[in-house]
Amino acid sequence: MKSTKSLKSRLPAGIVDASFASLATFAIGLAAVNLLEDAERGVYAVFFTTFLMGTVLARNLVLTPAEVEAVAFPLEERIPLIARTLTLGLGPAFIGAAAALLAALVAAPLTEASVIVPFTLTTAVASILSPLQDHVRRMLHIGSKSWLAASVSIVQFVTTVTGILVMTWRDVDLPWIPFGSLAIANLVSLSFGWLLTRRSHQRSTGRDQLRFVDLARRGRWLVLQAAAPSVAGFVAAAIITRLASPEALGFAEAARVVSQPILVLATGLGAVLNPRAVEAAMNRGTALARQTNRIYLLVTASAGASYLAIAGWDWALNPMPHIVPSAYEVGGLVALSIVANLATASVFLQFNELMGAKREKTLTTISWAISPIMLIASLTAGVTDAFARPIGRLGQGLARFTLQRRVLKAHYAGADQPGVADGPIG
């Protein structure tokens, strides 16, 4: 009973946390799609995919494995681990930021240096700070301090909006604004989160158990699995700009911004439910796994269907066309993007379960197996135009859900067969 009450009290905090964290990203997306020209929106989309790619190394090589390991520690010892895990993640974060140079190379023929240079520099800085700030928030959830995590996200959102307004008011060149405001907000909120955990900075008895080599041994598989969709997304963006146009990619990016609330909700639910999913997989707790998945999928699907009915099309009760008008330039694009995000969100909890089951290699196999779907979809851009991107995301989400569900079913059954252990999916 106590566990259920604790979950109910923390779920709102998880949703608040994810909502404000995603609202910060939503705000820079709004700034980009409303302030930039059509072609420049396409350039922003290329840099945004690179920003996501740049965060992969630190998040997956060190930080995510550390979060999974932290679940096994006594509750009071989890938050003190943050000082150690941030130190371990800093180096990979700087290396990952170099991915911004790839976007510069792809976007150089599409626009001028006055656009490329600001995007490159601000994307690199945001790529360093974003995974570190996310990690602090997730560790606060793992340490049952979900409302503290929510306060960090609120600070991030307020700082992002303030940064956008101030830079716009001061007539800062537009390409500096989206990622520049996000980088500033991540720095401020990361510092705030660090201060919140200072009382827990005393040496943890488990601190020395987290070593870079051990975490990286698990994390290298997560880097490989995360690299597949990130690289595929980046290549797909480049292909769409060539086969369709930068404007088409810009419309797809605007539709992605509108469809983000689905991922906001899913991330918020996951922030609280992920530790339960990891625990269920570690202990092969079928009942706990079913209950956790039922909550996650029911809430996500219900909210997604409601949001699709409201925001899927340009009609009288939908406020989004007034906020992001460019998203509705292509009829049906937002609706398909929402459905694609529902498919994407459906796999989040499964991913954490497979982490708890120590199936990193299997996750990597699945990730690389489904990545060609995005590339194939992008190659249709000459015909499908802006729809190529959400078509690819929808296909990837459905394929990943099916494969991961199959592996988890075998895991809880205790079967020792390919697809259960870290081997090929037969």
Per-residue 3-state assignment (H helix, E strand, C coil) for 6-68: HHHHHHHHHHHHHHHHHHHHHHHHHHHHHHCCHHHHHHHHHHHHHHHHHCHHHHHHHHHHHHH
C-alpha 163/C-alpha 183 separation (Å) is 10
* Mean pLDDT, range 127-140, rounded to an integer: 94
The domains of the chain are located at 2-413
C-alpha 20/C-alpha 157 separation (Å) is 6
Neighbours of 302 (CB within 10 A): 11
8 Å CB contact between 58 and 92: yes
| pLDDT tens-digit readout, 42-56 | 899 899 999 989 999
In the predicted model, is pLDDT for residue 96 greater than 60?
A: yes
Which range among 4-8, 95-99, 297-301, 339-343 shows the weakest confidence by mean pLDDT? 4-8
First to last CA, the chain: 40
Token reading at 309: 């009915």
C-alpha 278/C-alpha 8 separation (Å) is 18
Place of tokens 């990622």: 179
Note the pLDDT of residue 6: 57
Note the pLDDT of residue 418: 41
8 Å CB contact between 18 and 235: no
| pLDDT tens-digit readout, 287-338 | 999 999 999 999 999 999 999 999 999 999 999 999 889 999 999 999 999 9
313: left (phi over 0), alpha (psi -120 to 50) or beta: beta
Note the pLDDT of residue 73: 86
For residue 90, what pLDDT band results from cuts at 50, 70 and 90?
A: very high
More confident residue, 324 or 417: 324
| pLDDT tens-digit readout, 214-232 | 898 888 888 888 888 888 9
Three-state SS for 418?
A: strand
| pLDDT tens-digit readout, 349-386 | 999 899 888 888 898 899 999 999 999 999 999 999 99
In the predicted model, is pLDDT for residue 420 greater than 50?
A: no
